Structure 1
């Protein structure tokens, strides 16, 4: 899905975790798995699976994009430096991380304005339900899949969707 004006989620501007632009346009023509992440969540171990996806499929054109968010019970309270250190030291994260943003409510970042209209397999659209909700953006810049927070990154459902887009 593109937005009504034909733009892609990758057309928005968002900062990188450590400052400057995350330059989402650099991912044009690639497959991007956008995930709102948090360091102090019961689902935080999903970082392991996300990193494995990055390592396994990067050469074929996949980028995992972590988007820190502190809107769910304050589970991402750290500064940019603290988030980067935690992700690197604890989970060996090499995929890019954006600045910390809001994914719901009046302060929702434009990136998520362009994602939340897409339904998951159960038909859920709208607000992000929790940390680690996942959106798959195809090579053409359209949203092609949405996965619930509880769906593991290495699940058959996610891997099948990714490999279909990389084919």
Structure 2
């Protein structure tokens, strides 16, 4: 069984969010920020979540303030911003670090499983994405510039497996 299912991050309300509950689903893990040039991707993320959620697809957003301090808000402020501006209904976790000595264990694992360009493991910016298959394996890593709509083909492929 994949180590992915061993992780239990904390959601933005302070409750445990066991990844074990995601077994058999296709999951997109994204580090997010509310004051970033890529913030508009929240809208596309919500669109693909709505399109595929009934087929076993989940998006898990991890707010992060490590890139240009573009996620300064509290958990409540972040949730309100996402809901009001983009209608976000997919799960949001508590704010975390994705790089460095305080990096959340899920991101340490994700980066080890699928290093980026030229083997670089670090997350380069907000809205970097990891697509996880139904077995809990990292299928693909996408840079911030790869929009959510442009990975629909990969999502559909994994949902059919």
User: What's the TM-score bracket when you normalise by the shorter of the two chains?
Assistant: over 0.9
Which residue in the other structure is 2:45 paired with? 50
Unaligned runs of 5+ in 1: 1-5
Q: What are the within-5 Å matches in structure 2 for residues 6-155 of structure 1?
A: 7-117=2-112, 118-120=114-116, 122-155=117-150
Aligned partner of 1:163 among 133, 152, 156: 156
Q: Distance in 2 between matches of 1:108 and 1:53?
A: 27
Moved more, 141-150 or 11-20: 11-20
CA contact (8 A) 2:2 2:135 kept: no
Q: What is the CA-CA distance between 1:124 and the residue it aligns to?
A: 4.7
Q: What is the CA-CA distance between 1:159 and the residue it aligns to?
A: 1.1
The structure that is helix-richer by fraction is 2
Moved more, 13-22 or 95-104: 13-22
Q: Deviations over 1:101-123 (max 9, x none)?
A: 00000001000011112045x55
Which residue in the other structure is 1:3 paired with? none
Normalised TM-score (structure 1)? 0.91
Q: Distance in 2 between matches of 1:31 and 1:126?
A: 22
Moved over 6 A (4+): none
Q: Distance in 2 between matches of 1:9 and 1:65?
A: 13
Q: Distance in 1 between matches of 2:119 and 2:87?
A: 32
Q: What is the CA-CA distance between 1:125 and the residue it aligns to?
A: 3.8
Q: What is the CA-CA distance between 1:10 and the residue it aligns to?
A: 3.2
